[in-house]
């Protein structure tokens, strides 16, 4: 007989494989801490000046991220059915906006360039646009690979988180140098290690939740409630892990 478990409902955890994947992620984190601790990196200067063409880069980045998200939505619209594409992008975008707005407004840990054209309160909307597109790309890559598609939900989250950080670890330092945003402190070219934890948890958490909700044989309102509840849990986990990274970083660099 075939496997009666519906696609996407294959469980969260594999007793042998998932711990090994988690160990790989832990080793990558340890390597990053060691790298940053013993290799000096230059922090960007004060103010919003950046390089001479910083404002041009800022506005190009804004519209490039908007185009990236719209093209991703078009791809999902053609690949999936209309309801699934709208459900995914609606929640991914709202998730990114809330994540950025709460963090920027209440943490004071970073701020966006006030010259940005596309804004929502304290948030430069290019970043939630980018969050949304990157999350979709991670889901698409996993769905298109038969081996990755069979992973458990936590494993998909781990993989998506690593993919997201591999994207951000280079571009974040570049855009900080161009004055698109700035951090209160930073260990890697003006970027704090806690930022990479946030990327890992935000993308990985959303992908894990989506992998569960997408496999539900339920009506759309039930899926919407499930996504909302899952996002709250994912964001709570993100806050805990970011705080843990911040405290670990403080201890590591004071040693």
**What confidence tens digit (pLDDT) does each residue in 3-14 have?**
444 444 567 777
Q: Which position has the higher pLDDT, 27 or 107? A: 27
Q: Please report where in the chains the tokens 């458990």 appear, as a residue.
A: 152
Alpha helices in the chain (DSSP H): 17-38, 54-79, 82-107, 126-144, 146-149, 153-177, 193-214, 220-254
Confidence tier at 187 by pLDDT (50, 70, 90): confident
For the segment 35-52, the average pLDDT, to the nearest whole number, is 66
For the cut 60, the answer to whether the pLDDT of residue 64 exceeds it is: yes
User: Could you tell me the two tokens for 167?
Assistant: 């994207």
Separation CA 220–CA 216 (nearest Å): 10
Least Cα distance to 230 among 217, 219, 214 occurs for: 214
In this prediction, residue 43 carries a pLDDT of 67
Separation CA 247–CA 184 (nearest Å): 15
Q: Is 92 left (phi over 0), alpha (psi -120 to 50) or beta?
A: alpha
Pairing of strands 123-124, 110-112: unpaired
Range of lowest pLDDT (96-105, 189-198, 210-219): 210-219
209-248 pLDDT, tens digit each: 988 887 777 677 777 788 888 888 888 888 899 889 989 9
CA distances from 26 to 30, 32, 68, 162, 245 (A): 6, 10, 31, 11, 12
SS3 114: coil
């Amino acid at each position: 007989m075939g496997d009666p478990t519906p696609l996407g409902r294959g469980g969260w955890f594999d007793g042998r494989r998932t711990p090994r994947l988690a160990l790989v992620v832990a080793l990558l984190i340890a390597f990053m801490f060691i790298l940053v601790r013993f290799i000096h990196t230059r922090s960007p200067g004060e103010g919003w000046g950046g390089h001479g063409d910083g404002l041009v880069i800022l506005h190009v980045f804004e519209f490039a991220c908007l185009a990236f998200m719209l093209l991703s939505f078009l791809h999902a619209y053609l690949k999936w059915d209309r309801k699934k594409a709208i459900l995914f992008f609606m929640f991914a975008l709202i998730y990114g906006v809330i994540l950025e707005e709460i963090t920027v407004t209440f943490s004071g840990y970073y701020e966006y360039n006030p010259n940005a054209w596309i804004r929502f309160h304290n948030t430069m909307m290019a970043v939630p646009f980018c969050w949304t597109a990157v999350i979709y790309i991670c889901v698409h890559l996993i769905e298109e690979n038969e081996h990755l598609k069979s992973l458990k939900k936590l494993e998909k989250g781990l993989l998506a988180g690593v993919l997201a950080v591999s994207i951000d670890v280079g571009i974040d330092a570049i855009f900080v140098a161009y004055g698109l945003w700035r951090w209160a402190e930073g260990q890697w070219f003006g970027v704090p290690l806690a930022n990479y934890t946030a990327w890992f948890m935000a993308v990985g958490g959303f992908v894990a939740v989506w992998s569960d909700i997408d496999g539900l044989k339920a009506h759309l309102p039930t899926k919407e409630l499930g996504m909302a509840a899952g996002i709250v849990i994912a964001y709570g986990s993100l806050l805990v892990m970011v705080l843990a990274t911040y405290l670990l970083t403080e201890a590591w660099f004071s040693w």
